[in-house]
Structures are given as structure tokens and as C-alpha cells.
Amino acid sequence: MRNPLDTLRPDVRAMHSYVVQDATGMVKLDAMENPHRLSPALQAELGERLGAVALNRYPDGRVDYLRQVLAAHTGLPAGYGLILGNGSDEIINLLAIACNRPGATVLAPVPGFVMYAMGAQLLGLNFVGVPLTADFELDTPAMLAAIAQHQPAIVYLAYPNNPTANLWDDAAIEQIIEAAPGLVVIDEAYQPFSSKSYLDRLARHPHVLLMRTLSKFGLAGVRLGYLIGPQALVTEIDKVRPPYNVSVLNCECALFALAHLEVFAVQAQEIRTQRAIVSAALGVLPGVKVWPSDANMLLVRVPDAGKTFDGMKAKGVLVKNVSKMHPLLANCVRITIGTAEENERMLAAFQTSI
């Protein structure tokens, strides 16, 4: 009998698993999670609500109701619809499945969110990454040339971008959208912390979709992403969605959170305030460069990212060493904004690790 592993795709066997760092007992500032938990009163209220959910049934009309609540919360343009995913990660896969015609290409600036490339690769689409400039702006001529050459089915623009935390220039975005022969997906995972959104410009272009998630908002553990687009397009893409992709528990948690938006708005404001404090504190350190951020993270260049990462880890603070992700990120670490107390511990650990 041959080795059962030989049945698997060679490219899958050659892949590395997505590494989730062990954060037990550490200040966890590596994954852009919201550091705030629900108050005990809200925990009890949510617990009661979840306990009453019919777990014996497949997800039902309640998920449709969540779709309506999210649509109202977002404020969809007329004629636009919304698809729910088990996180944006699933939406990225659904888009790849739906657009996977022979030779289809996904294009995005790099460094960027790794799931665009991974979704493309796993579903058999080509991926083209177009390097940003040294200061992490869109390289508009390079983007336009790559679009002309590769005729991508999907262009992803994370707005703000991960891991660079910045927004793109408005004129550059419009040029890219106008040049794109396929779909353009604006990924607003960090919208709660951003000074801008593409939402009010969305209806200008029938081939532009907007993706959001409740992960960075404060429900990373729940897994709920959504895609907004012209109804005709959304109806087609929705056909490839597994029928019960959003669990009743995810759905009920999301409805609960959307009924307590004020709690999450206060948290987002606190994170933005902390971002300014942390950015200023890091920015005055010699040999340290901090880039502007519209997200709940800061990209920071240090003299030796390995040394800083290891030093901070030894002091109980976990950040992300992104320096090997892309040559443009040489000696960069990505630091998620935590609570005031966590940020103080982070700054103390950082100062003694550069």
C-alpha cells in the first residue's frame, strides 16, 4: 500500500501551517484583538441568551435577521446586499471559488493580508503581489501595470492595510478601481479604528465590493465577516456559500453585540486614544520608527527585530515579528494596541529590548 500522505497535493504538503503563537500567561499583543472583555453583567445576559438558542436545529431565519440588522447598522446603498461568512477568511475563499474561471488571478499590494494569497493558492487561482513603496504607500504605476498585464479577477485593497496599518491615497484607489477589469474588494477589517471608510464611495462603481468583520471590532472569537455589494453580484457569490456557514451561536453573539453598540464604541475610542499615546512614546525612542496608523496596531521598525521580539517575549509581552514576511518589512514588528495597563507593560518591555 502506498503512503496515504502521497494522496495529498504536493503544494499542500509543502505548506507551513498558519502558526498561532502560544500566549498563555502573556500580554497578548500579536493578533489585533480587542483587549476588552464584556462586563460581568453583559456576560451573564449573553449567557442566558445563548442558553436559550435551539442548538438541535440548523441555523434558521435568525441568520437572515442578523443580515438585516448588519445591513441597517452599516447603512447599505440602495440595491446593495450582504453575505455573511464565518469570518472574512471564509468570504475570501467564497470569492475565490466564485471567480475561479480558468487562469483567474487575484492581485493585491504586498506586504498585505496573507489570506488573499492563501485563498487564491488553495483554490487554484494565480496570485500576484505588487510591492508597496518603501513607505508602504500604493505604488500606483506598478499596480496599474500589473493590472494591465494580469487582468485580475479580484483586486484586494485592505483599507487600512495589515500589517502596515495605513490608509491608501484616495486618488490612487480610484485609478486602480477604474483600471480593474474584474472585481475590487475593499477590506475594511479595521473600520472601527479608521478615520475613513470607502462606504460612501461604494455605489460609484458596480464592480467594487466592501468587506468587513466583527473580529477587530471585538468579536474575534465569534467569527463573523460580511461582504457588501450590488445585489445581483451578491446573489451569485452567495450561491457558493455553504448553507449553514454561520452557527446559531455566532449569530446570537453578533446580534447581542449589535444591540450593545455603545459598549464597543467606547472600547474603540479608548483604543484610538491609547494608539496615540503608544505611538508617541515609541516614536521618541532612538533608532525606532513608527508609521502612522488608522488601525488597532502599530508597525514599528527597530534596529534588530529578532532581538526586540525575543526580549519582549522574555518579559511576558507577545507581539508579532513581521520582519520575515516581506523584504520591505525588514526589522519590523507589529504591535497591537492593548489596554492602558498592557500598553505600559509593553512599552517597558520594548524599551529594554531594543
Ligand X SMILES: *Cc1c(COP(=O)(O)O)cnc(C)c1O
Residues of this chain that interact with ligand X (CB under 6 A) are: 32, 87-89, 113, 158, 162, 187, 189, 213, 215-216, 225
Question: Which residue lies nearer to ligand X by CB, 89 or 342?
Answer: 89
Question: In the complex, which residue's CB is closest to ligand X?
Answer: 87
* Spatial contact of 219 and 254, defined as CB atoms under 8 Å apart: yes
Nearest distance in Å: CB 306, ligand X = 23
Question: Which residue lies nearer to ligand X by CB, 322 or 349?
Answer: 322
Helices marked H in the chain — which ranges? 10-14, 40-51, 61-74, 88-98, 114-122, 140-150, 170-179, 231-237, 248-258, 261-283, 305-314, 340-351
C-alpha to C-alpha distance for 84 and 74, rounded to whole angstroms: 13
Nearest distance in Å: CB 214, ligand X = 7
DSSP string, 71-136: HHHHTPPTTEEEEEESSHHHHHHHHHHHT--TT-EEEEEES--HHHHHHHHHTT-EEEEEEPPTTS
Question: Which residue lies nearer to ligand X by CB, 188 or 349?
Answer: 188
Nearest distance in Å: CB 228, ligand X = 14
Question: Which residue lies nearer to ligand X by CB, 33 or 342?
Answer: 33
* Spatial contact of 335 and 278, defined as CB atoms under 8 Å apart: yes
Record the cell numbers describing residue 286, joined without a space. Answer: 532612538
Q: Which one-letter DSSP state was computed for residue 305?
A: H
C-alpha to C-alpha distance for 235 and 170, rounded to whole angstroms: 29
Nearest distance in Å: CB 92, ligand X = 8
C-alpha to C-alpha distance for 187 and 212, rounded to whole angstroms: 6
Question: Which residue lies nearer to ligand X by CB, 87 or 230?
Answer: 87
Nearest distance in Å: CB 285, ligand X = 26
Question: Which residue lies nearer to ligand X by CB, 250 or 343?
Answer: 250
CA distances from 161 to 105, 110, 156, 179, 224 (A): 20, 10, 10, 20, 19
Question: Which residue lies nearer to ligand X by CB, 223 or 313?
Answer: 223
Helix (H, G, I), strand (E, B) or coil at 15: coil
Question: Which residue lies nearer to ligand X by CB, 30 or 187?
Answer: 187
Nearest distance in Å: CB 67, ligand X = 16
Nearest distance in Å: CB 159, ligand X = 9
Helix (H, G, I), strand (E, B) or coil at 148: helix
Nearest distance in Å: CB 41, ligand X = 27
* Spatial contact of 330 and 163, defined as CB atoms under 8 Å apart: no
Nearest distance in Å: CB 312, ligand X = 21
Name residue 70's amino acid. Answer: L
Q: How many residues does the chain have?
A: 354
How do 154-158 and 126-131 pair as beta strands?
unpaired
Question: Which residue lies nearer to ligand X by CB, 234 or 288?
Answer: 234
